[in-house]
Every structure is written in C-alpha cells, then in structure tokens.
Amino acid sequence: MSSLREEFQRASDELDVRVEFDFTPSIPDALDLRPVLRLPDFGAANGMLIFRTYDEIRHWRQQVVDAGYGFSVLEEARLGEPFDIEVFKEMFIEWGWAGSPVSKPAWMRL
C-alpha cells in the first residue's frame, strides 16, 4: 500500500505537474490546518489542497474557498490496489488547470 504522498509524488513525476508537501495555507485563524499536500496549478487560483478526512477541513471550508483554494478529501489507497495514472489524469482534468497557460502539460491540451 502506498500513501497519498507517494501516489501524488509518482503522479507528479509521471505527469509533470507540481506538488507541494508540508504546505501551510495562509488562512487567518486556521493555523492548525494541515493538508497532506497542495497542487498549486489545479482547482483554484491558489491551488488544490488535499486532505485525508473531511473532519480536517469541516470548520474551515468557507475560509479555504474565500482564500482562493480548492480542496478535496481523498482516502489512502487500499492494500494491494495498484497505482493507476489514468485516475490521476481524470482527477486533474476534472479539477481544471489554474496555472500559467504556457505551463499546462501537453497531456491536458488534447
């Protein structure tokens, strides 16, 4: 079984997208808000924050959106579940590209 961090690092490497671990969003009064990672070029102007449980974001939803972030809650992969890059492509396409148009990966331009 791999962790969300490992899976997103692999997806980042294979799809040539940026991922930031140990990111602390700039949200007043939410100093303990700790996403697993941030995808700076997806979902919203300040990127997409990934959390493991909804409880981690529940009380900060509106502040996160108001601060220009998108967010998603994703579970860890199940034991024995293979890595599937197509799942990441679909997810990234669904969230939408929010980075510089010239940096948009070729696989998203199809």
For the entire predicted model, the pTM comes to 0.91
Q: Is residue 1 over pLDDT 70?
A: no
Angle, CA 29 vertex, CA 25 and CA 35 arms, to 5°: 30
Q: What mean pLDDT, rounded, does the chain reach?
A: 91
Both structure tokens of 80 = 């024995």
Which has the minimum average pLDDT: 21-30, 37-46, 100-109?
A: 21-30
Q: Is residue 71 over pLDDT 50?
A: yes
For residue 110, the model assigns a pLDDT of 67
DSSP per-residue codes, 78-96:
PTTPPP-HHHHHHHHHHH-
Q: What number of other Cβ atoms are within 10 A of residue 33's Cβ?
A: 18
